[in-house]
Amino acid sequence: MPRRKRLTDAGIARLRAQAREYTVWDTRVAGLGVRVRSSGSRTFIFHRKTEGGVRKMSFGPAALRKVEEVRRACMEAATRTTGADEAPREAAPVFRDFVAGQWKTECFERCKPSTQMGFRSMLNHRLLPAFGSRRLDRITRSMALDWFEAWSRVAPGSANHALGLLRQILNHAVACGHIGVNPVRGIRRNPGRKMTRFLSREEISRLHHVLDRYAEGSASEAQQADIIRLLLLTGCRKSEIVYLRREEVRNDRLELGDAKTGPRTVLLNAPARRIVARRIAQGNSPWLFPSVLDPSRSRCRAVTLWCRIRREAGIGDVRLHDLRHTVASQAAMNGVPLPVVARLLGHSDVSMTMRYAHVGDREIEAAAERVGQTIAAIVGMED
> Could you report the per-residue pLDDT of 246-300, keeping only the tens digit for each?
999 988 889 988 777 678 888 888 999 999 999 999 878 999 999 888 888 888 7
H or E stretch at 23: strand 22-26
CB atoms within 10 A of CB 172: 20
Q: Which residues contact 346 (CB under 8 A, 6 or more apart)?
A: 236, 237, 256, 259, 260, 261, 264, 266
DSSP letter string, 45-91: EEEEEETTEEEEEEEEEGGGS-HHHHHHHHHHHHH--BTTBPPPPPP
pLDDT at 82: 39
Question: pTM (2 decimals)?
Answer: 0.58
Closest CA to 321 of 198, 193, 161, 215: 198
* Spatial separation of the C-alpha atoms in residues 310 and 235, rounded to whole Å: 18
* Spatial separation of the C-alpha atoms in residues 9 and 122, rounded to whole Å: 37
* Spatial separation of the C-alpha atoms in residues 196 and 309, rounded to whole Å: 20
Residue bearing the bigger pLDDT, 127 or 364: 127
> Could you report the per-residue pLDDT of 191-226, keeping only the tens digit for each?
876 666 888 889 999 999 999 999 999 999 999 999
